[in-house]
Amino acid sequence: METTHNVGVIGCGYWGPNLIRNFRSLPNCNLAFVCDTKRERLAHLQTGYPGVKFTVDNREMIQDPDIHAIAIATPVFTHFDLARQSLLAGKHTFIEKPMASSSSQCEELIELAANRNLTLMVGHTFIYSTPVRKIKEIVDCGDIGELLYISSQRLNLGLFQKDINVAWDLAPHDISIIHFVMGHAPVSVNCQGKAHMRSGIEGVTNMSLNFSNGGFATIQSSWLDPSKVRRMTFVGSKRMILYDDNEPLEKIKIYDKRVEVPPHYDTFAEFHYSYHYGDMYAPYLNQVEPLKAQCQHFLDCIRTDRKPLTSGTEGMQVVQVLEAASESLKKAGAEVMINSVKKVEQQPLRKPKIVKVRKSLVSEQSKDLAIESGLDVR
pLDDT in tens, 50-75: 999 999 999 999 999 999 999 999 99
The CA distances from residue 64 to 56, 171, 216, in Å, are 14, 35, 47
In angstroms, rounded to a whole number, what is the distance separating the alpha carbons of residues 98 and 349? 12
Q: What is the CATH number of the domain that holds 206?
A: 3.30.360.10
The region of weakest confidence among 18-22, 231-235, 367-371 is: 367-371
pLDDT for the residue numbered 22: 97
Give the pLDDT confidence of 42-51 residue by residue, as tens digits: 999 999 999 9
Contact call for residues 195 and 203 (beta carbons, < 8 A): yes
Residue at which a domain ends, from 263, 281, 299: 281
Q: pTM of this prediction?
A: 0.87
- What secondary structure letter does DSSP report for 350? P
pLDDT for the residue numbered 106: 98
Residue at 251 is within a domain: yes
The CA distances from residue 329 to 102, 206, 210, 247, 253, in Å, are 16, 10, 16, 32, 34
Residue at 296 is within a domain: yes
pLDDT for the residue numbered 264: 67
Partner residues linked to 192 by β-bridges: 206
pLDDT for the residue numbered 260: 82
Query: Based on the domain organization, do 69 and 193 belong to the same domain?
Result: no
Give the pLDDT confidence of 83-118 residue by residue, as tens digits: 999 999 999 999 999 999 999 999 999 999 999 999
Give me the numbers of helices (H) and strands (E) for the chain, helices first please: 10, 15
Q: Which domain holds residue 209?
A: 128-281
Residue at 377 is within a domain: no
In angstroms, rounded to a whole number, what is the distance separating the alpha carbons of residues 235 and 214? 14
Query: Based on the domain organization, do 134 and 210 belong to the same domain?
Result: yes
Query: Based on the domain organization, do 315 and 365 belong to the same domain?
Result: yes
Cβ within 8 Å of residue 155, ≥6 positions away: 220, 221, 222, 225, 227, 228, 229
What is the average pLDDT across 291-305?
Answer: 97
Total domains in the fold of the chain: 2
Which residue type occupies 168?
W
pLDDT at 201 over 80: yes
Residue at which a domain ends, from 246, 281, 316: 281
Query: Based on the domain organization, do 84 and 71 belong to the same domain?
Result: yes
In angstroms, rounded to a whole number, what is the distance separating the alpha carbons of residues 221 and 114? 34
Query: Based on the domain organization, do 74 and 140 belong to the same domain?
Result: no
Query: Based on the domain organization, do 144 and 250 belong to the same domain?
Result: yes
Residue at 378 is within a domain: no
What is the average pLDDT across 345-372?
Answer: 41
The CA distances from residue 371 to 149, 177, 332, 356, in Å, are 29, 19, 45, 11
Beta strands 224-236 and 240-244 are antiparallel
The CA distances from residue 344 to 310, 321, 347, in Å, are 24, 16, 10
Residue at which a domain ends, from 236, 253, 281: 281
In terms of pLDDT, which residue wins out, 34 or 371? 34
Closest to 105 measured CA to CA, from 324, 248, 312: 312
pLDDT for the residue numbered 274: 81
